[in-house]
Amino acid sequence: MNKAEIFRQMSEAIVAGDREASRRLAEEAVRSGFDLPEVIEQGYVPGLQRVGELWEKGEYFLPELILSAEAMKSAMAVLEPALGRRTTSAMGGKLVIGTVEGDIHDIGKNLVASMLQAGGFEVFDLGADVKLERFVAKAEEVGAQLICLSALLTTTMAAQKRFIELLKDRGLRGKYKVLVGGAPASRKWADEIGADGYAENAVAAVKVAKSLAGRA
């Protein structure tokens, strides 16, 4: 099989959300000694882009989106160790994500985390009902660039605002880009509290995160 055909199959595996095929193709690429950054950028990433297009056209829904993200993760689990210290432009950097304190909703957050991971970010998911302090501690610990806060309730979204204030108090506001999301959040809200980014869905979140990380 030539490289172009393998790349096409990789893309297809992502579009089809086929975790098994995605992993198998990645293993084959490693075995064959392919240039792995090229494999990611020309094999898998076009698949993800296609998934994003299908979502935006209204043909793909959440289950397809999540399966595609899972397929991407299964490929990256094979490729990343083999890449060693090399990075590719498809790899995004580190980010910390979680649902803010007092809020136990995590379906939307999990989806965004999956998509960000599929989009090449190293994702540190703190789960739901996360104390604001923990976001900072984790970001400091792992050297993250981005911190993403989810809130599904109008009563808990205020924590997103408090988080920005917390960063300012610590003198860390300039160090991290902060993204906010969740049902009650909006562009306007993000501007009002001085967040760096807002996205209305998981596909848009990846775009915003990439642009904030200087990759778009």
What does the binding site for another protein look like in residue numbers (CB under 8 A)? 58, 61-63, 107-108, 111, 153-155, 183, 201
The H-or-E segment that residue 212 falls in is: helix 202-212
Nearer to another protein, 97 or 136 (CB): 97
Nearer to another protein, 59 or 191 (CB): 59
Half-sphere exposure of 175 (CA within 13 A, CB side): 13
**DSSP letters for 62-73:** HHHHHHHHHHHH
CB 109 within 8 A of CB 128: yes
Strand order in the sheet with 197-198: 121-125, 93-99, 146-150, 177-181, 197-198
CB of 153 to another protein, least distance (A): 6
Burial degree of 43 (CB within 10 A; 0-12, 13-18, 19+): buried
3-state helix, strand, coil in the chain (%, to 5): 55, 10, 30
CB of 57 to another protein, least distance (A): 12
CB of 116 to another protein, least distance (A): 16
DSSP E strands, 77-166: 93-99, 121-125, 146-150
Nearer to another protein, 82 or 153 (CB): 153
CB of 216 to another protein, least distance (A): 24
Nearer to another protein, 83 or 183 (CB): 183
Nearer to another protein, 54 or 83 (CB): 54
CB of 26 to another protein, least distance (A): 28
Nearest to 21 by CA among 3, 43, 52, 53: 43
The H-or-E segment that residue 115 falls in is: helix 107-118
CB of 155 to another protein, least distance (A): 5
Nearer to another protein, 88 or 201 (CB): 201
